Homo-oligomer: A and B are copies of this chain.
Amino acid sequence: MNLKQLSHMLSLSQTTVSRALNGYPEVNEETRRRVIDAAKRHGYRPNPSARRLATGKSGMIGYVLPTGAAVDIDPHFVEFLSGLGDYARAHELDLVLSPADADDEETTYRRIVANRQVDAVYISSPRPADKRLALVNTLGIPFIVHGRSEGFDFDYPYLDIDNEGAFHEAARLLVQLGHKRLALINGNDRETFAIHRERGVGRALAASGLTLGERHIRSVTMTEENGYRAARRLLEENEPPTAIVCSSLIMALGVVRAVRDLGLTIPGDLSLVAHDDVFPWLRPENFPVPLSTTRSSIRLAGARVAERLAARISGLEEGARGEVWPVDLVVRGSVAGAPL
């Protein structure tokens, strides 16, 4: 059932039927009702390919997926996707994943924009002065950044959590508990979120005249093994930290293992706080010692990003609105006063 048949059936022109269905004003309400009714009865669905060709709109959102033999997709991605799906499901919005060589995403961005494959894209894990931002900005495709970048002469729409505030709170708590030697096991410090987190911890320490020395910062990709290694190196130093703030639950697993291997205890010898993106399959309250966390659901963020992308596509949202979500600090058994 296509438009031609439907309009013939109604003894109307394709123009009128099309307009009736798409909510244009220049059609009699009575006629519109007839059309909509007939369309529903006959299960008419406009052919998306034809519509695409005519309008240049695809009704899909895109994501350029960096891949490569040495590249692992962040496990957080799947949670973000769940959220995105939560929104998209209800709006028949599909997501196009365009795998790209991690060393050359630009080609892929250009391709999907030139081909008009998607109406909008989102960008995740941005870095300061991230080239992708500049690119999509000049290419003129609607976009939203999940996270933040820095150092541009233009504003852009984003959704981010208050990483600095969260880690500031966490560190401040530890300082208040008497800890003087804090360490930070961070994610890749070329990404903005990691920079913000470090800044948060640094600010909290500075407020008490303390500092976060180079020695006490590890910046690694977030695997259990890297968490373990970082923790061991920190804890085997001369004056080991008495508290660690850690950027992910997965790394925290490694930290816990290292602490055990060294015959230490949490929170007796070491206080530990980690950031929790809320994985359904690994929960901080189930750690050997319930883990204190800064918590923010990445799934909710996914849903919100989808919602805002849809709004931008339909013109409901404009401009460079930045949105920063607060982060909860949830204190559990893994923190205690500094050892004497």
How many copies altogether?
2
| Contact yes or no, B60 A85, CB < 8 A | no
Name the residue of chain B whose CB is nearest to the CB of A87. Answer: B99
Is A72 located at the chain interface by the 8 A CB criterion? yes
| Contact yes or no, B85 A67, CB < 8 A | yes
| Contact yes or no, B99 A97, CB < 8 A | no
| Contact yes or no, B86 A223, CB < 8 A | no
Is A23 located at the chain interface by the 8 A CB criterion? no
Besides A49-B58, A75-B78, 11 other A-B contacts (C-beta < 8 A): A47-B115, A48-B115, A49-B53, A72-B82, A73-B82, A93-B99, A223-B281, A228-B286, A253-B253, A253-B282, A260-B288
| Contact yes or no, A89 B60, CB < 8 A | no
Is A309 located at the chain interface by the 8 A CB criterion? no
Q: Which residues of B contact A222 (CB under 8 A)?
A: 281
Q: Once the chains are docked, how many angstroms separate the CA of A225 from the CA of B68?
A: 33
Given contacts A45-B114, A73-B82, contact A97 B98 (CB under 8 A): no
Interface of A is mostly: mixed
User: Can you report 16 A-B residue pairs in the complex whose CB atoms are below 8 A from each other?
Assistant: A45-B114, A48-B115, A49-B52, A49-B115, A49-B116, A52-B53, A67-B85, A72-B82, A72-B280, A85-B97, A92-B111, A95-B96, A224-B281, A250-B281, A254-B286, A257-B288
| Contact yes or no, B67 A73, CB < 8 A | no
- Pairs of residues from A and B, 8 with the lowest C-beta to C-beta distance, nearest first: A85-B99, A67-B85, A89-B99, A223-B281, A72-B280, A49-B52, A95-B97, A49-B53
Q: Which of B68, B101, B283 contacts A224 (CB 8 A)?
A: B283
Q: Once the chains are docked, how many angstroms separate the CA of A81 from the CA of B77?
A: 10
List chain A positions with a Cβ less than 8 A from chain B.
Answer: 45, 47-50, 52-53, 56, 58, 60, 65, 67-69, 71-75, 77-79, 81-82, 84-86, 88-89, 92-101, 111, 114-117, 222-225, 228, 250, 253-254, 257, 260, 279-283, 286, 288
Q: Which of B68, B98, B223 contacts A282 (CB 8 A)?
A: B223
Q: Which residues of B contact A50 (CB under 8 A)?
A: 53
Given contacts A81-B97, A94-B98, A286-B257, contact A281 B88 (CB under 8 A): no
| Contact yes or no, B99 A96, CB < 8 A | no
Q: Which residues of B contact A279 (CB under 8 A)?
A: 75
Q: Which residues of B contact A89 (CB under 8 A)?
A: 67-68, 99-101
Q: Which residues of B contact A53 (CB under 8 A)?
A: 47, 49-50, 52-53
Q: Once the chains are docked, how many angstroms separate the CA of A254 from the CA of B286?
A: 9
Q: Once the chains are docked, how many angstroms separate the CA of A69 from the CA of B87?
A: 10
Q: Which residues of B contact A260 (CB under 8 A)?
A: 288
| Contact yes or no, A69 B86, CB < 8 A | yes
Q: How many Å from the CB of A309 to the closest CB on chain B?
A: 13
Q: Which of B49, B117, B224 contacts A94 (CB 8 A)?
A: B117
Given contacts A223-B280, A224-B281, contact A75 B75 (CB under 8 A): yes
